[in-house]
Every structure is written in structure tokens, then in C-alpha cells.
Amino acid sequence: MIEIKNVSFRHENADEGSIHDITLTIPDGQCVLLCGESGSGKTTITRLINGLIPHYYEGEMHGEVIANGLNVTKSELYETAKKVGSVFQNPRSQFFCVDTTSELAFGCENMGLPEADILSRIDKVTAEMNIKSLMGQNIFELSGGEKQKIACGSVSALQPEIMVLDEPTSNLDLNAIEELKETVQKWKQSGKTIIIAEHRLYWLREICDRVICTQNGRIEFDMTMEEFKSLSDEERNAYGLRPLFAENAVQTVGNFSGTDILTLNNFSFSYDKKEVLNIPKLEIPVGSIVAVTGHNGAGKSTFSRCLCGLEKRFKGTVLLNGETLKSRQLLKKCYMVMQDVNHQLFCETVEEEVQLGMNEENAGKVQKILEELDLDGFAQRHPMSLSGGQKQRTAIASAMLADKEILLFDEPTSGLDFKHMEQTAKLLSSLKNKKTVFVATHDPELISRCCTHILRIENGVIDEFTSR
């Protein structure tokens, strides 16, 4: 049983608390969905349960958390880790080893288990999760979905009683989400208590027993999944939640009128002599908003990095407005928002960050974009003190104000709730016929709301390019 007793927490140097006087009891074996808008307190609750608060994330805390008899608030993290396993939004942030087999063994070794027991646990986990084929591989050569499997496997090997997952599907394609769903179902069948903080809801409707929605650091509602299913999409949207059924998210994008063409010629890239991108020729209408889709590891992120000139070894050229562009020229024409925005937040305040790419100061534009993305209340906050969704919106705002002809977004709505996903889609739509935009994404709701074309990449080649 998990008991959160009258807990409030305010991060160090934050003006306001992340959560306020929260009390929760989660029985053994229950699977709970934590939902709510970005910054509403979901991730804070997961960090209370796994002990990262207050032992890693410092601040002012009141109350206590008990996990299966262990006082998490007072216990050392290594003690909590024996009872609570964690899978983070970005699995790379929890890896300690370079190869997959060592990663699965790492936690068990830290617990001081005998070698025979460690090998037995690895065999059991790899068989149960069907990941034997991933053993002995370089972690950094795996796709996003494969990394998530290794993260889940390394946690499973510890055999904790409680599993905590924070935005586990934010960067996964549909196939990888289905595989994660199977893993969670196996955990549930084995009697584990599972807490999942998530914005994508549809894959959890047959798994979770209970839905807890947070808003402004407090519990807005706490109901069974059956009660949650009975709500209409409009009622869920009012809480900032995405549709529970993905088919309800489809919308039609307005007319596109662009006639000029952006041409990619002989676009290719290789890692250690292994070709991962090969596009002989591709013509993209200037001013279009292109969804770049495909499975994890298909080449979408590589395509984006090459197009904006970040990969110096890529071969090929881009023809734009009669000008042939190579890497150095592309860097001047393009702006990219990376999948992990922590790599590109440099300034002391959000306000400074969003102005970083502007050629001329314009306070009116800055204020307008901050308001449109619900960031005006955080203008003087340090970007790294924000929630994941707020950081994402800060990077998006910076791109929107950059004076560049080509904008590239790598999973821009990972970690965004319904409201802020819609805001992002609206802003991207406003660029139609003005900028050429590429959006590498697994988010069908975003695609349906703003993209004019779909470019599907599989195994580094163009599988399909169509208009919507």
C-alpha cells in the first residue's frame, strides 16, 4: 500500500508550491493513471513515491510518504529502490552502462546479489519481456522504443513491488506503445502496484483501475476508470486531458496554397559506414507543414538534423529559392527544437530564452507568444526550473520567434497536455504559407490539427509522401 499523508512540496527557489496538502492511499496491486495539465503536479507525486523528493530534488516538504511499510520520506534512495522501480520519460536519463546486458545487471549488482541470482533474473526478465535479441548491444544504437524496453527490463530485474512510470510513451511510436502496454499488463498480472503519469490516455483505458487528475497542485478528481470512461471528450478536455479514444482526435486542416518548391537532392547519411538515410530526391512545397513519421529508429531525427545542417558528414544539398544550400548555409536558414529540449535551454529567464533567435528586439511579439503558450506567468523563471511540458513550450516559443525560413520540431508535443497540444498546433498552423515546417512526431492528434503533408520514413528511405 502507498500512503501519501498531507504532503505539500515547494521546489527550492520556486515562488509557489508544486503540490498542496495531498493525501492519497493506493492499495496493493492497483494500477493508477495520474493525469492533468502540464505542471499540475503529476511528476511531483511520482517523485514523492520513488523518493527523488526530497532526497534528490530539494525544497520545502511537509507530510510523509509510506510505500509498503517503508517511510520513503526518511529512507535513503537505495532502500526505496528495493521497493519502488522507476521508468522515466527519457530512458537515457536512467542508464548507467553502455551495453544492454550490463544495464540489466547494474541495479542487481548494486544490491549485492550473487552472480548466479543476477544471471537468473536477467534470463527471466528477457524471456518475459521478449528482449533477448537486444542483449549485448550498444544502448546508444537502439531506437527509442528499444531503449524504453531496456529501461523497463532493468527495473523489472530488481523485482520491486511498486512501479512508477512518468510519461513513458511521450517519444514512442504506436508499435512501441503496444509493446509497453503488454509489459505493463504483465506487471499488473504479477500483482505489482503501478502508477503511470501520462498525457496519452487511450492505451491505458483497459489497464488502469483508477484515474487521479491533478490541477494546480491539488487533486481535482479521483474516480474509477469505468467512471472516467463515462465522461464525454468535452468533459475530459475541460480538465486539459486528451481524448480517451484516439479516433476522436481527427480534424481537417485548411487549404494550403504554396507553389514554390524546396528540393532535397542526394540526401544521405551514415554512422560508421552503416547507411541510415538515403533520399535521392524529395520535393517539398515551400510554406507547408510536414509531419515526418515512421517507427522509432526509422531515421526521422537523423533527417531533421541533416536538414538543419547539424550533421557535418551528411551528403546532399537543398535547393531553396534558386539557392543551393549545404551544411553551413542550412545552419543559417534553419531552427530546430530538439527532442530533449534540456540540450538547448541556455538563458537565465524564459523571457530571454524565447528572444534568443530574434534578429531584432520586439517586446510585443515576445509577450504575445508567451501568452499564447501560457508562459507569461513564468517569464522571469529560469527555464530549467520548469516542468517538462513548460520547457517544451519555451523551446517552441523560441523557434516561433526565430527569424528563420525553415523550422524543425522533433516530438514538440511530448509531455504536453490536451490544451497545450492544441495551442502548439494552432501556432504551427499560423506558419502555413509563411515558413516551411517539419514536425517529426508520433502524435496523431497534432498531425490532424496542423499538418498539410505527411512524410513517412522507414529504414532511412521515403516510404510515402502525401498531402492531407
256 lies in a domain? no
Taking residues 189-200, what's their average pLDDT?
Answer: 94
Q: Are 53 and 192 in a shared domain?
A: yes
Q: Are 320 and 284 in a shared domain?
A: yes
Q: Are 236 and 280 in a shared domain?
A: no
Q: Are 159 and 205 in a shared domain?
A: yes
Number of structural domains the chain divides into: 2
368 lies in a domain? yes
Kindly report which listed range (61-75, 140-154, 221-235, 286-300) carries the lowest average pLDDT score: 140-154
Task: Tell me what percent of the residues of the chain surpass a pLDDT of 70.
Answer: 97
The CATH number assigned to the domain holding 16 equals: 3.40.50.300
- Domain boundary residue among 227, 249, 271? 249
| pTM (two decimals) | 0.78
- Counting runs of H as helices and runs of E as strands, what totals does the chain give? 16, 20
Taking residues 267-281, what's their average pLDDT?
Answer: 88
Sort strands 461-467 and 289-293 into parallel, antiparallel or unpaired: unpaired
Taking residues 128-136, what's their average pLDDT?
Answer: 89
Q: Are 206 and 342 in a shared domain?
A: no
242 lies in a domain? yes
Kindly report which listed range (113-122, 190-199, 218-227, 267-276) carries the lowest average pLDDT score: 267-276
**Contacts (Cβ under 8 Å, ≥6 apart) of 439:** 289, 290, 291, 292, 408, 409, 412, 428, 446, 447, 450, 451
Highest mean pLDDT among 218-232, 296-310, 374-388, 395-409: 218-232
3-state helix, strand, coil split of the chain in percent (to 5) is 35, 25, 35
Q: How confident is the model at residue 240 (pLDDT cuts 50, 70, 90)?
A: confident
Taking residues 412-430, what's their average pLDDT?
Answer: 87
Q: Are 139 and 48 in a shared domain?
A: yes
Which pLDDT tens digit goes with each residue over 259-270? 689 999 998 998
Q: What is the DSSP letter of 243?
A: P
Q: In what order do the strands lie in the sheet with 406-410?
A: 334-337, 406-410, 436-440, 289-293, 453-458, 461-467
323 lies in a domain? yes
Measured CA to CA, the distance from residue 468 to residue 458 in angstroms comes to 19
Report whether 454 contacts 211 (CB < 8 A): no
Write out the residue range of the structural domain in which residue 92 sits.
Answer: 2-249
Inter-CA distances, 179 with 174, 272, 274, 284, 404, Å:
9, 29, 27, 34, 39
Report whether 412 contacts 337 (CB < 8 A): yes
Q: Are 144 and 201 in a shared domain?
A: yes
339 vs 51 pLDDT, higher one: 51
Q: Are 162 and 286 in a shared domain?
A: no
449 lies in a domain? yes
Q: Are 444 and 411 in a shared domain?
A: yes
* Number of residues in the chain: 468
pLDDT value, residue 322: 82
Q: Are 172 and 307 in a shared domain?
A: no
Measured CA to CA, the distance from residue 349 to residue 384 in angstroms comes to 9
Q: Which of 70, 72, 44 is nearest to 59 (CA)?
A: 44
- Domain boundary residue among 208, 226, 249? 249
DSSP assignment of 331-364, as one string?
HHHEEEE-SSGGGG--SSSHHHHHTTT-SS--HH
Which 3 state secondary structure label does DSSP give 197? strand
Q: Which of 178, 96, 180 is nearest to 139 (CA)?
A: 96
pLDDT value, residue 338: 86
Taking residues 407-429, what's their average pLDDT?
Answer: 88
56 lies in a domain? yes
Q: Are 29 and 98 in a shared domain?
A: yes
Measured CA to CA, the distance from residue 316 to residue 262 in angstroms comes to 13
366 vs 339 pLDDT, higher one: 366
